[in-house]
Amino acid sequence: MTQKKSILSKLGYLEYLPLQEEAIDALCSGDDVLLAAPTGGGKSLVYQCAGIIREGIGVIVSPLIALMSQQVEDLRKKGINAYFLNSNLNPNEHENLLWALRNNHIDLLFLSPEKLVQPSVISFLHGMSISLFAIDEAHCITQWGGSFRPEYSQLGQLREAFPKVPIIALTGTVDELTIKTIQSSLQMNDALVLKGSFDRKNIEIQIAQKRKAKLQILFFLHNEMAGQSGIIYCRSRKKTEELSSWLNTLGLPSLAYHAAMSDSDRQTNHKRFLTESGLIMVATTAYGMGIDIAHIRFVIHVDLPDSPESYFQEIGRAGRDNQPAKALLLYGLQDMLKAQQLNAFQNQSGDERKPKLNAFFKVIESRGCRRQNLLAHFGEASEACGNCDRCLAPTSEQNVTIASQKLLSLVYHTKGIQPFSVLIQVLLGKRTKSVLAMQGERLALFGKGKELNEAQWKSVIRHLIAFDYIELNQAVTFCIHLKEKSRGILKSQIQVLLAQERYYPTLDNESAIKETATWHQLMSWKLTQKNSVLSDGQLRKVYQHKPTTIASLSRLTGLSKEIIAPFSESLISLLSRVEEVQEKDCVG
């Protein structure tokens, strides 16, 4: 067995994924590599293998302590001498690390960019034999290389300080501008650039309009993902805590994670999510980068991500084991306006994210296959996937060209200063206070838009925003600008076709809401049983009748005592706890 195959086996893999072996061979030959592959594409295996094969210590730059800690722990279990250097080490741990470095007892060393660029660390590494430098999550150079974490933009000094040590930069995006920025910043002028396919066929993509978001989440958890572990992404820290608290109140085990929490609280919640089954992590984007947890089966977005890249990376947290997983995104017109408003605020600090946000609007508002639209953004052609809401339940399309002309004309005649809600009220002929205040009832278009309902008008507006027919300025006061390309619609040179609006179902039945937590616990229990013989139907019978003995459990399921003996005690115990909780709820 070759050394490369031997190390691959030691790391727990049977064969290489596409591009992995090519990247390892290039590094072993002393060449720089830029590897762009999706979340779950096996990027970490490349620097782990090459770092061990080449003589010396593999130095890995990672942005998050939690990520470093997890990787080091996993590698040590496989017999790899992995360590991390960060500010959390106590003096004794720090001395042990220095001894191990000096005595060549380390294969891979993980540290943050802030640590690496310290002159004392650079000086110390000069006395070591370095096999390679790996810059993990290298797109952070473009995202964080300014005022937030300036050390990312200083990593180019590695080429000057260690001219003969190969560098590998790893990123989860194939955005050309990002790749060029990474190459320039790290002085990787002659790097081998490898790009993997971004198609994650195992993830079912669902995108739907938001309507009672909490009850839509409950329907998803109850009917599609009962007992499974997953992540719910929110934009704000406040919403993260509120949603997590609400789920816990219902009896659904949930944890919160955001940047304002203490390091110890974040670490505690991460470790629980890593080891316990059936947990739901409600988090901001502070959670997820580089997280590799095989049992994450779903990702829900209740707020819009700020780019196609962010969305793709975040849903990629699910299904890392290549087993079926699901992604659900809920949004509406208000979410688009809020996202634009937030980006306008961020842009005041020089963070130019608007083009990427608009690109994401275009992805989710485009007709046809969801995955096809997403991959097209990354420059990857594909057939209809058969595993998204559009492919699984095809719907009719509607020509709304005339409706679009009415809306654009109304924006023009009202000088773009009226909110969309008021414009819709005018088109529907509603004499609300807002309409009367701006004398909307006198306009020629008053009541001329009754062919669409309010939800459909919002859909038209979303399309016009996404495809750059209108532009919003919300920096000081709300204002709608007609873009030059809107002339094409007004002159009937462009046809506007929309896919039929889709609303994800809500869980409105009170008894079903109460049952959700119990069913989640039972399904979570079932998933932890290695050789479970109970079907979902049998488990529902067990839940309804709540047997208290192995004999009654046998009669109810139709299975012999010998078959159910291995799990009967834990199941009956769980049913007893469920009964106690329900009785307390009834008393309360």
Cβ–Cβ < 8 Å for 206, 327: yes
User: How do strand 497-499 and strand 397-399 relate by DSSP bridges?
Assistant: antiparallel
Q: What is residue 150's DSSP assignment?
A: G
Amino acid code (one letter) for 323: Q
**3-195 and 397-499 agree in CATH topology:** no
Q: Is residue 461's pLDDT more than 80?
A: yes
Token digits for 515?
């049952």
**pLDDT tens digit sequence for 397-429:** 999 999 999 999 999 999 999 999 999 999 999
Q: Which pLDDT score is estimated for 290?
A: 66
Report the top-level CATH class of 3-195: alpha beta
| pLDDT band at 545; cut points 50, 70, 90 | confident
Q: Which residues share a beta bridge with 584?
A: none
Provide the H-helix boundaries in 419-560: 420-427, 433-437, 454-466, 486-490, 510-528, 536-545, 550-557
0.75 cut: is pTM over it? yes
**CATH topology for 203-392?**
Rossmann fold (3.40.50)
| Gap between the Cα atoms of 132 and 162, Å rounded | 10
**pLDDT tens digit sequence for 244-293:** 999 999 889 999 999 899 988 988 999 899 889 899 999 998 887 767 78
Pick from 446, 374, 395: nearest CA to 205: 374
Going from N- to C-terminal start, the domains of the chain cover: 3-195, 203-392, 397-499, 529-587
CA angle 362-18-386, nearest 5°? Answer: 45
Q: Which pLDDT score is estimated for 587?
A: 39
Cβ–Cβ < 8 Å for 340, 334: no
Residue 29: partners with Cβ closer than 8 Å, 6 or more residues away: none
Q: Write down the number of H helices and E strands in the chain.
A: 27, 17
Q: Which pLDDT score is estimated for 227?
A: 92
Residue 319: partners with Cβ closer than 8 Å, 6 or more residues away: 40, 200, 202, 203, 296, 297, 325
The string of DSSP codes covering 400-444 is -HHHHHHHHHHHHHTTT-S-HHHHHHHHTT---HHHHHTTGGGST
**pLDDT tens digit sequence for 81-97:** 998 887 777 777 778 78
Listed range (144-158, 196-210, 292-306, 543-557) with the worst mean pLDDT: 144-158
Cβ–Cβ < 8 Å for 199, 37: no
Cβ–Cβ < 8 Å for 256, 283: yes
**CATH topology for 397-499?**
Arc Repressor Mutant, subunit A (1.10.10)
Q: Is residue 78's pLDDT more than 60?
A: yes
3-state secondary structure 226-256: CCCEEEEECCCHHHHHHHHHHHHHCCCCEEE
Q: Which pLDDT score is estimated for 539?
A: 87
Dihedral angle, C-alpha 268, 273, 278, 282, nearest 10 °? 90
- Taking residue 270's Cβ as centre, other Cβ atoms within 10 Å add up to 23
pLDDT-above-90 percentage for the chain? 49
Q: Is residue 521's pLDDT more than 80?
A: yes
Pick from 121, 124, 106: nearest CA to 52: 106
